[in-house]
Amino acid sequence: MKLVFLHGLLGTADDWQNVIERCSQFDCIALNLPFHGKAQNSKAQNFEDCCQLLDKQIQSAVKNEPFFLIGYSLGGRIALYYALQAQCHKKNLQGLVLEGANLGLIHETKKAARWQHDLQWATRFCTEPAPQVLEHWYQQPVFAHLTPQQRQVLIEKRTPNCGANIGKMLTATSLAKQPYFGDKVRSTSLPIYYLVGEKDLKFRQVAERENLNMHLVPHAGHNAHLENPQAFAQLLTEIVGSSSLL
């Protein structure tokens, strides 16, 4: 079984290294999203473009072998689109593991508000110095559990990957543009698992409201795989291992 990992906004494939090291029984592949890491020069205007670009990487790496797709935050939203909507080859996809991923918005008023929210952030990413915009980015409520030291470590980690490229990705994959996947998640035969840090109250509420197959990662917040890679890898191993026996 192969495991394919997708990072979140501002991240890179390297974000998964601590988890991959603890999942040595699987063949693990971490990919860079468009506009991130080694894929900064890639072009994508929307979710479909992102999925087409990723599909080329996935098919090259996976070939005809079965695989699980694991996505964090934006990576999880792209994984949802890839599995449930994109026009891609998915015959060997065995399941999804989503970490702190939003299933989408239903009401048009909320979509309009989110678009304005993301557009403002995209403008800031394109025009402000990286340390300045990241300082404000990590003050958002979803990161409230971070200590000042943890926040500073993230700012330093993300600064090299931060700039106009992130603004482009944010407008291409705004939550306002994402379909609502709640109904499809509940009706699909594809196994979908939802991992969330126990301190991530926002996405615990999402999982409960959507009646998702939730697994809590202890001693972790929104970025659970970074904050507690050992527990995350253990849960992932159990999920993939049990699925392969079905």
For 66-100, the pLDDT digits (tens) are: 999 999 999 999 999 999 999 887 889 999 999 99
Q: Which residues contact 108 (CB under 8 A, 6 or more apart)?
A: none
Question: Are 25 and 54 found together in one domain?
Answer: yes
Of 118, 137, 167, the last residue of a domain is: 167
Tell me how many domains the chain contains. 2
- Asked if residue 67 is part of any domain, the answer here is yes
- Asked if residue 237 is part of any domain, the answer here is yes
The reported pLDDT for the residue numbered 246 is 47
- Asked if residue 226 is part of any domain, the answer here is yes
Question: Are 151 and 98 found together in one domain?
Answer: no
Question: Are 82 and 117 found together in one domain?
Answer: no
Of 143, 167, 191, the last residue of a domain is: 167
Of 167, 187, 217, the last residue of a domain is: 167
Question: Are 102 and 117 found together in one domain?
Answer: no
- Asked if residue 198 is part of any domain, the answer here is yes
Tokens representing 4?
A: 């394919």
Question: Are 6 and 112 found together in one domain?
Answer: no
Instruction: Say how far apart CA 124 and CA 104 lie, in whole Å.
Output: 23
Q: Where residue 25 sits, what CATH number does that domain have?
A: 3.40.50.1820
Q: For residue 197, what are the domain limits?
A: 2-106+179-244
Question: Are 117 and 162 found together in one domain?
Answer: yes
- Asked if residue 174 is part of any domain, the answer here is no
Q: Which residues contact 73 (CB under 8 A, 6 or more apart)?
A: 8, 9, 99, 100, 101, 222, 223
Closest C-alpha among 1, 37, 44 to residue 160: 37
Question: Are 19 and 81 found together in one domain?
Answer: yes
- Asked if residue 92 is part of any domain, the answer here is yes
Q: Which residues contact 172 (CB under 8 A, 6 or more apart)?
A: 34, 35, 44, 45, 46, 47, 49, 50
Question: Are 78 and 192 found together in one domain?
Answer: yes
Instruction: Say how far apart CA 76 and CA 72 lie, in whole Å.
Output: 5
The reported pLDDT for the residue numbered 63 is 86
Question: Are 77 and 8 found together in one domain?
Answer: yes
Question: Are 47 and 161 found together in one domain?
Answer: no
Instruction: Say how far apart CA 107 and CA 192 lie, in whole Å.
Output: 24
The H-or-E segment that residue 209 falls in is helix 201-209
Contact 4, 61 (CB under 8 A): yes
- Asked if residue 172 is part of any domain, the answer here is no
- Asked if residue 173 is part of any domain, the answer here is no
Question: Are 18 and 76 found together in one domain?
Answer: yes
Which residues of the chain fall short of a pLDDT of 70?
A: 244-246
Question: Are 16 and 96 found together in one domain?
Answer: yes
